[in-house]
């Protein structure tokens, strides 16, 4: 078995250790004897998503985020929308998560059109939502308890076309107001959880792998791994937050 | 009126200092804070007759300051410095209070001041430094500083308060170098020329991929580390400026130091640097540029670089274990990668201790450990005898080294520094200690309690 992981815009969306998600996905595949191939798709690369089984998009700095909008609107947005409707597995974090929504509006009213693949939008605020936080995934998103670190000033609002990824137990989540965190639509999982998200949340990492493998091979059984170190780190933070 | 306020502020500052020393606190910050409340312009008044040199930037501030100190000492200049790393306006003011008499007249002629990037805005205008070094800009403690372009804007604003200062800029950092275009200051460029050392591959994560002026992707002639090197923008022409104080060759890189050739305004000089690793080549080159700009003769400054030791957790050596130990403070991915690169050059087997804290001064977000190339540890093979993880976030660090490919069997968790140091005293191999800032303060104290602080290296 083999999984092709596409890291979209690693050249500009690589803040807060999000590359650790790629490291985690590949390690957890290889420990199980499954091939993992990572393709980096920087700005301007002609790569199409048709060969990919799992796409990761991270968060970035505002400065660089502006650079990629142009690239996005040269047709990649259409391609991403089609791939999502087709059931491709995505993990998107912070800026990458916001990007899948309809638009981002800065706190002083400047609107910037995004991909429009997910029924959500984000409005900037003057205060940043920063800190360790935890949330419980909805049952259809695996139901696991996630610990992470959030750092965003955008407040994301979900429309009726998507489900929240989970319920905030401590921290801000999507907007600090409605108790939702992230979004889940088909096989797309979006979250504010930097940290990175996957190393300390192995159950969620395996959910992504299983989702991608099932789509590719029809069924997927993941051999259990010794997650003692991961779970110890997870449990300690879950207790502290 | 101002004189009276100044007098009272100095009095209060000194009283607070005395009190904190009696209570066995450092008292590096509080005296200045109290004094500034009483007399907000105190730093400006105290600094007026002192020739100051200020150092800011993400990495290398403390090491550069120590190098310049050594050069000043060698040159016989009467100076003081904010040695304890108290680099906010309160800490800087404390240092000026302690180096002035009751009437606010300075006791020394020169000051070497390292300054936090975010605090520079408040400090530079009052300090009015003669020379300012900006070492480099990397992503650092994003929860505290925000994005790197934000830090750049802070420094640019700070420089408006020091229009007469000679600005020593790292030519190889495209972010730092961009300061020159917007400011009236005379600029002295320092950097490492192409061909001086083998070019490194482009890092997987760079903090400056796109032109700071026009957002086009940079082209590189060579890379020294991180995003530093010979960059140029194919669209707008923004490019690395020619360095005035240029490292033209790195002739030797050892575990305890480097030898380089520096072209100092037209003259080629061999420079021995008493600290290892490429980032210290930059620190030394910047120190050389700044010290000479302050009037220290070149040969005096060069001699100082071969002699000085930094201490305070920056490549500091201890007689710990059978073969000695070296402590290497890590704060952010760029600095951490340089330390990991240095470890890859060590040919003898060694033990590693990584202490990860997430307190305010460390940054509360530990995600940066995933931006650093700890995979280097996985590539060390049998040279790496043991990795001990410690600190408040030891368990996060354990996961990081596990995923970096370090075999589970050689990873240990030990959170008690006392027990950790006791074990390390028995170590057969060289020990390298990689703590974050607050972990360094605690670990260093424990190490010194056991083995003293004398320098030692085999």
If DSSP states are collapsed to H, E and C, what string results for chain A?
A: CEEEEEEECCCCCCCCCCHHHHHHHHHHHHCCCCEEEEEEECCCCCCCHHHCCEEEECCCCHHHHHHHHHHHHHHHHHHHHHHHHCCCEEEEECHHHHHCCCEEECCCCCEEECCCCCCEEEEEEEEEEEEEEEEEECHHHCCCEEEEEEEEEEEEEECCCCECCEEEEECCCCCCCCCEECEEECCEEEECCECCCCCCCHHHHHHHHHHHHHHHHCCCCCCCCCCHHHHHHHHHHHHHC
* Residues B142, A16: C-beta atoms closer than 8 Å: yes
Q: How confident is the model at residue A62 (pLDDT cuts 50, 70, 90)?
A: confident
pLDDT at B3: 86
Contacts of A93 in chain B (CB under 8 A): none
A83 Cβ neighbours under 8 A, 6+ residues apart: A49, A52, A55
Q: What does the pLDDT average to over B28-49?
A: 94
C-alpha span between A121 and A133 (Å, rounded): 22
Contact B395 A236 (CB under 8 A): yes
What SS3 class is residue B229?
strand
Q: Spell out which chain B residues touch chain A, with contact meaning CB-CB distance below 8 angstroms.
A: 139, 142-143, 147-149, 204-206, 209-210, 215, 217, 364-371, 375, 395-396, 398-400, 402-403, 408
Contacts of B400 in chain A (CB under 8 A): 20, 199
Q: With an 8 Å Cβ cutoff, are B209 and A11 in contact? A: yes
- Residue A101 neighbours by CB distance under 10 Å: 25
User: What tens digit of pLDDT does each residue of B398-452 get?
Assistant: 999 999 999 999 999 999 999 999 999 999 999 999 999 999 999 999 999 999 8
Domains of chain B: 2-191+272-307 (3.40.1190.10), 314-451 (3.90.190.20)
What's the CA gap between B451 and A134, in Å, rounded?
A: 42
* Set of chain A residues whose Cβ sits within 8 Å of the Cβ of B142: 15-16, 151
Distance from the B337 Cα atom to the nearest Cα atom in chain A, whole angstroms: 14
Q: Which band of pLDDT confidence, cut at 50, 70 and 90, is reported for residue B147?
A: confident
Please say whether the beta carbons of B391 and B439 come within 8 A.
Answer: yes
Q: pLDDT band at A18, cuts 50/70/90?
A: confident
Nearest CB to B395; choose among A20, A63, A232 = A232
Name the band, by pLDDT with cuts 50, 70 and 90, for residue A108: confident
Nearest CA in chain B to A20: B370
- How close is the nearest chain A Cα to the Cα of B371, in Å? 5
Rounded-to-integer distance, Cα B227 and Cα B207, Å: 6
- Distance, in Å, from the CA atom of B39 to the CA atom of B6, rounded to the nearest integer, reads 6
User: CA of B380, closest CA in chain A: separation in Å?
Assistant: 18
Query: Which candidate in A6, A94, A152, A234 is catalytic?
Result: A94
**CB atoms B402 and A229 under 8 Å:** yes
A19:B371 CB<8 A: yes
Q: A71 touching B, CB under 8 A?
A: no
The torsion defined by the Cα of A43, A36, A192 and A232, in degrees rounded to 10, comes to -150
CA dihedral sign of residues B9, B14, B18, B20: positive
- What pLDDT is attached to residue B83? 81
- B291's tokens: 């010290």
Query: Strand A103-105 relative to strand A111-113: parallel, antiparallel, unpaired?
Result: antiparallel
A22: tokens are 């790629």
Task: State the Cα–Cα distance between residues B233 and B145, nearest whole angstrom.
Answer: 27
- Chain A residue numbers with beta carbons less than 8 Å from the beta carbon of B395 are 229, 232-233, 236
Q: How many CB atoms lie within 10 A of CB A177?
A: 10
A116 shares contact with chain B (CB less than 8 Å): no
Using the beta-carbon criterion (under 8 Å), do A199 and B371 form an inter-chain contact? no
**Which of A12, A62, A233 lies at the smallest CB-CB distance from B398?**
A233
> pLDDT tens digits for B297-349?
999 999 999 998 877 888 999 999 999 999 999 999 999 999 999 999 999 99
A56 interfacial to chain B (CB closer than 8 Å):
no
**Cα of B313 vs its chain's centroid, Å:** 11
Per CB-CB distance under 8 Å, the chain B contacts of A229 are 395, 398-399, 402, 408
How many angstroms separate the CA atoms of B68 and B47, rounded?
A: 19
Active-site annotation holds for A94: yes
A-chain CB neighbours of B370 within 8 Å are 17-20, 23, 196, 199
Q: Calculate how close chain A gets to B22, using CA atoms only, in Å.
A: 35
Per-residue pLDDT for A241 more than 50? yes
Phi and psi torsions of A172, nearest 5°: -105, -50
The gap from C-alpha A215 to its chain's centroid, in whole angstroms, comes to 18
Q: What is the pLDDT of residue B455?
A: 40
Select the residue from A15, A28, A131, A133 to test the B interface by mutation, using most B Cβ atoms within 10 A.
A15
Give the span between the Cα atoms of B317 and A220, in whole angstroms.
52
Is the preceding omega at residue B59 within 30 degrees of 0, hence cis? no
Q: What is the pLDDT of residue B312?
A: 83
Q: Are A157 and A111 in contact (CB under 8 A)?
A: no
pLDDT in tens, B160-176: 999 999 999 999 999 99
Query: Of residues A7, A152, A184, A194, which has the active-site annotation?
Result: A194
- Which pLDDT belongs to residue A58? 94
Among candidates B142, B149, B365 on the partner chain, residue whose Cβ is nearest the Cβ of A63: B149
Q: Which among B206, B370, B395 has the least Cβ separation from residue A19?
A: B370
Contact B129, B54 (CB under 8 A): yes
| Mean pLDDT value across chain B | 93
The number of helices, as runs of H, and strands, as runs of E, in chain B is 17, 17
pLDDT confidence tier of residue B206, bands split at 50, 70 and 90: confident
Residues 6+ apart with CB under 8 A from B22: none
**CB–CB contact A63 B142 (8 Å):** no
Residue B457 pLDDT class (50, 70, 90 cuts): very low
Q: Which residues pair with A112 in a beta bridge?
A: A104
| Largest distance between two CA atoms of chain B | 70
Confidence of residue A220 (pLDDT cuts 50, 70, 90): confident
Can you give the pLDDT at residue B418? 97
Which has the higher per-residue pLDDT, A119 or B205? A119
Nearest C-alpha in A relative to B372: A17
Find the CB nearest B367 among A62, A195, A236. Answer: A195
**Confidence check: pLDDT of A195 > 90:** no
- CA A49 – CA B204 distance, rounded (Å): 21
Chains A & B: contacts with CB separation below 8 Å: 92
- Per the structure block, which two tokens stand in for B289? 């540029």
User: Closest Cα to residue B147, out of A152, A132, A91?
Assistant: A152
Q: Which stretch of DSSP H or E encloses residue B244?
A: none
A66 CA to chain B: closest CA distance, Å? 9
- Examine the residue annotation and report whether A6 is marked as an active-site residue of this protein: no
Highest mean pLDDT among A6-20, B25-39, B60-74, B131-145: B60-74
pLDDT at B26: 73
pLDDT band, residue A172 (cuts 50/70/90)? very high
Among A103-112, A202-211, A228-237, B5-14, which stretch is predicted with the lowest mean pLDDT? A103-112
Question: Which tokens in the block code for residue B191?
Answer: 């950097």
Q: Which of A12, A149, A230 lies closest to B365 in CB terms?
A: A149
Q: At B71, is the pLDDT very low, low, confident or very high (cuts 50, 70, 90)?
A: very high
Collapsing DSSP states into helix, strand and coil, what is residue B235? coil
Q: How far is B215 from chain A (nearest CA, A)?
A: 6
Query: From the list A10, A149, A237, which residue is nearest B367 (CB)?
Result: A149
Can you give the length of chain B in residues? 458
CB contact under 8 A, A61 and B148: yes
What percent of chain A clears pLDDT 90, i.e. is strictly above it?
78
Compute CA distances B41 → B90, B110, B121, B123, B275, whole Å.
Answer: 12, 20, 14, 11, 39
What is d(CA B75, CA B53) in angstroms, rounded to the nearest whole number? 15
Residue A32 — very low, low, confident or very high, per pLDDT cuts 50/70/90? very high
Residue B456: pLDDT band (50, 70, 90) is very low
Give first-to-last CA distance, chain B, whole Å: 59
Q: Is A20 on the interface with B (CB under 8 A)?
A: yes
Which domains, and CATH codes, for chain A?
2-240 (3.40.50.880)
């Amino acid at each position: 078995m083999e999984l092709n992981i596409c890291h979209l815009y690693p050249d500009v969306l690589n803040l807060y250790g999000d590359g650790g998600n790629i490291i985690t996905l590949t390690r957890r595949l290889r420990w199980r004897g499954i091939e993992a191939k990572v393709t980096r798709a920087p700005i301007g690369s002609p790569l199409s998503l048709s060969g990919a089984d799992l796409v990761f998009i991270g968060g970035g700095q505002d400065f660089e985020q502006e650079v990629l909008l142009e690239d996005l609107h040269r047709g990649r947005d259409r391609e991403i929308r089609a791939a999502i409707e087709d059931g491709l597995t995505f993990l998107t974090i912070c800026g990458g998560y916001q990007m899948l929504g309809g638009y981002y509006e800065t706190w002083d009213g400047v609107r910037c059109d995004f991909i429009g693949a997910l029924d959500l939008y984000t409005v900037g605020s003057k205060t940043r939502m920063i800190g360790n936080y935890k949330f419980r995934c909805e049952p259809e998103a695996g139901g696991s308890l996630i610990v992470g670190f959030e750092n965003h000033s955008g407040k994301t609002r979900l429309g009726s076309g998507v489900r929240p990824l989970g319920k905030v137990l401590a921290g801000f989540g999507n907007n600090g107001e409605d108790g939702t965190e992230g979004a889940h639509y088909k096989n797309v999982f979006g979250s504010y959880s930097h940290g990175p998200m996957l190393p300390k949340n192995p159950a969620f990492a395996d959910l992504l792998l299983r989702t991608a493998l099932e789509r590719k091979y029809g069924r997927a059984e993941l051999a259990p791994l010794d997650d003692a170190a991961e779970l110890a780190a997870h449990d300690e933070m879950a207790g502290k937050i | 009126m101002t004189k009276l306020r100044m007098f009272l502020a100095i009095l209060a500052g000194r009283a607070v200092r005395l009190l904190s020393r009696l209570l066995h606190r450092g008292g590096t910050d509080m005296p200045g804070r109290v004094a500034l409340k009483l007399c907000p312009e105190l730093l400006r008044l105290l600094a007026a007759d002192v020739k100051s040199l200020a150092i800011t930037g993400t990495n290398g501030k403390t090491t550069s300051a120590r190098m310049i100190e050594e050069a000043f000492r060698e040159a016989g200049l009467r100076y003081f410095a904010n040695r304890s790393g108290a680099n906010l306006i309160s800490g800087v003011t404390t240092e000026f209070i302690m180096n002035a008499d009751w009437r606010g007249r300075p006791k020394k002629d020169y000051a070497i001041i390292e300054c936090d990037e975010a605090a520079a805005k408040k400090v530079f205008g009052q300090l009015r430094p003669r020379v300012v070094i900006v070492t480099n800009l990397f992503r650092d403690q994003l929860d505290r500083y925000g994005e790197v372009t934000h830090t750049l804007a802070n420094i640019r604003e700070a420089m408006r308060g020091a229009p007469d200062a000679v600005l020593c800029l790292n030519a190889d950092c495209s972010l730092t170098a961009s300061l020159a275009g917007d400011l009236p200051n005379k600029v002295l460029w320092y950097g490492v020329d192409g061909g001086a050392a083998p070019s490194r591959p482009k890092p997987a994560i760079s903090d400056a991929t796109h032109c700071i002026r026009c957002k086009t992707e940079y082209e590189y002639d060579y890379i020294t580390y991180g995003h530093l090197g010979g960059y140029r923008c194919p669209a707008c022409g923004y490019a690395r400026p020619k360095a005035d104080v240029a490292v033209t060759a790195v002739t030797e890189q050892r575990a305890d130091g480097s030898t380089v050739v520096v072209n100092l305004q037209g003259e080629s000089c061999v420079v021995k640097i008493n600290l290892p690793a490429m980032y210290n080549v930059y620190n030394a080159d910047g120190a050389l540029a700044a010290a000479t700009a302050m009037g220290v003769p070149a040969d005096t400054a060069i001699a100082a670089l071969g002699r000085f030791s930094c201490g305070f957790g920056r490549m500091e050596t201890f007689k710990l274990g059978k073969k000695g130990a070296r402590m290497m403070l890590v704060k952010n991915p760029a600095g951490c990668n340089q330390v990991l690169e240095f470890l890859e050059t060590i040919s003898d087997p060694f033990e590693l201790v990584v202490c990860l804290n997430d307190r305010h001064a460390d940054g509360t977000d530990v995600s940066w450990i995933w931006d650093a190339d700890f995979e280097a540890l996985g590539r060390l093979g049998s040279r790496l005898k043991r990795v001990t993880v410690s600190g408040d976030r030891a368990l996060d660090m354990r996961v990081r080294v596990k995923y970096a490919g370090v075999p589970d069997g050689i990873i240990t968790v030990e959170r008690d520094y006392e027990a950790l140091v006791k074990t390390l005293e028995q170590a057969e191999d060289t020990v390298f200690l990689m703590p974050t800032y607050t972990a360094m303060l605690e670990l260093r104290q424990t190490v010194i309690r056991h083995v003293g602080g004398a320098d030692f290296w085999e």
